Structure 1
Amino acid sequence: MRITLKTTSNTSIIPFNYQQKMIGTIHKWIGNNEIHDKISLYSFSWLHGGKLVKDKGFDFPEGAIFFISFYENKYLKILIDTILSDSEMFCGLEVKDITIEKQPVFRKEPLVFRLASPVFIKRNIDGNNKFFFYTDEESSVLMTETLRHKMQIAGLPDDETLKVEFDLSYPVKQVKMVTIHGIKNKASMCPVIIHGTPESKLFAWTVGAGNNSGAGFGGLI
């Protein structure tokens, strides 16, 4: 289940590294809940519709648009109820409209998903964190591994045809630096191609691709 939210215009410039503010806002809306200690079966996009303010951040004179998706609908219902009573976000943004999106119907054929936020891939190797990008051959295996693990946690049947890979034909792919709570993370801004059953594609559309979807990475459109 996915909702799209539209906001009022901001009253102060939104900083480049606003993602931690997004995380804090969503956690506020969800409230004290066991979901914070689980692997994220949800995803959310970055803010869209803004203008770059050179060397300062972003401005959203017409308001911002973003989405939040949850595999377990009960959490999204909690979120909606809370937003209706506490619509405030940050930098003057307030939710003014909530739309429940109709779930797409997918086919068996491989499908390209555009990104609403970059894909983050990280593994701990010999005690050190290693980031993987669209340039790394291992990335497809790791993204597939992560999505399959989330499907297992959700109780979904195994999909032997499942495969997630970057669309390397995308002409403006890039690696982005994202700082959250002072920690610098590198992620890939490059669409992904997902092979698998329609149910697997719908699950990926909901929970995102790669790691840390609960921190605003890997949102799929």
Structure 2
Amino acid sequence: MRLYIKLSRNNKNIPYNYQHLLTGTIHKWIGENNTEHGKKSLYSFSWLQNTDSSKSGINLTSNSYFFISAYDEQLIKRITKGILDDPTTFCGSQVVDIQIKEVPEFSNAERFMMNSPILIRRRDGDKVKHITFKDKNFNDLLTENLKGKLSDVGLNSNGVTVELDPSYAFPKTKLVDYKGIENKTTLAPVIIRGTPEQIAFAWTVGLGNSTGIGFGAVK
């Protein structure tokens, strides 16, 4: 299930590194007894869409929005209630409209654009390495991550694969600062092959690591 959240204009410039503000707002809406902290996230959310940029930051327009998707429909309902109780977000903006979208019907192979970049992390001794499309094992690790999430909820993970679209000519890396930590990420369309149920799950929970702080949201 996916929740599209339309926002009012802000009255103070939004910083470019705003992900932590969006994350904090979502956790505020989830409310007390929040069991999502520290767990492998089975939800994802996009970056802000339809915005204007300037040297001093980002400004929302009359068409600005973002979305949240979750495997657990109860989480979406909980967030919806949180929005109704307190629609404020940050920098003077607030929610002006919410729309719920059910999971679409998918085939056995789908191409998706990304609404936020993909982060893949692996520990290498005492260091954490960020894997991008430039690394040969990127597709394998992306698939492994999705299989792990499928298994966590008891869904069949056999046969599912994720790869960057090999026909896309302009994949790129993007350095994303999250609360002072620089994350090397990948921006490019992906192709997911598997059962319609597996693909629907990926559309909902996102791809890669740290979907719960705004990475890997599937459009």
TM-score under structure 1 normalisation? 0.95
Code of the residue aligned with 1:6 in structure 2: it is K
Alignment length (residue pairs):
218
Q: Which residue of the partner structure matches residue 22 of structure 1?
A: 22
Code of the residue aligned with 2:61 in structure 1: it is P
Q: CA RMSD of the aligned region, Å?
A: 1.1
Structure 2 distance, partners of 1:140, 1:214, is 21
Structure 1 distance, partners of 2:64, 2:169, is 26
Q: Which residue of the partner structure matches residue 98 of structure 1?
A: 98
1:15-42 per-residue CA deviation (whole Å, 9 max, x = no partner) reads 1100010111111111232122321000
SS at match of 1:36: coil
SS at match of 2:185: strand
Match runs of 1:61-100 below 5 Å: 61-100=61-100
Structure 1 distance, partners of 2:18, 2:49, is 12
Code of the residue aligned with 1:216 in structure 2: it is G
- Which structure has greater strand proportion? 2
Which aligned segments of 4 or more residues in structure 1 are displaced greater than 6 angstroms?
A: none
Q: Which residue of the partner structure matches residue 220 of structure 1?
A: 218
Structure 2 distance, partners of 1:209, 1:169, is 20
Establish whether residue 194 from structure 1 lines up as the match of residue 195 from structure 2.
no
Code of the residue aligned with 1:25 in structure 2: it is T
**Unaligned regions of 5+ residues in structure 2, if any?**
none
Asked whether the 8 Å contact 1:134–1:168 carries over to 2, the reply is no
Q: CA deviation at 1:2?
A: 0.6
Asked whether the 8 Å contact 1:45–1:217 carries over to 2, the reply is yes
Q: Which residue of the partner structure matches residue 37 of structure 2?
A: 36
SS at match of 2:111: strand
Code of the residue aligned with 2:199 in structure 1: it is K
Code of the residue aligned with 2:156 in structure 1: it is P
1:189-210 per-residue CA deviation (whole Å, 9 max, x = no partner) reads 1111111111110000000011
Q: Which residue of the partner structure matches residue 175 of structure 1?
A: 173
Percent identical: 43
Q: Which residue of the partner structure matches residue 208 of structure 2?
A: 210
TM-score under structure 2 normalisation? 0.96
Q: CA deviation at 1:63?
A: 4.7
Q: CA deviation at 1:128?
A: 1.1
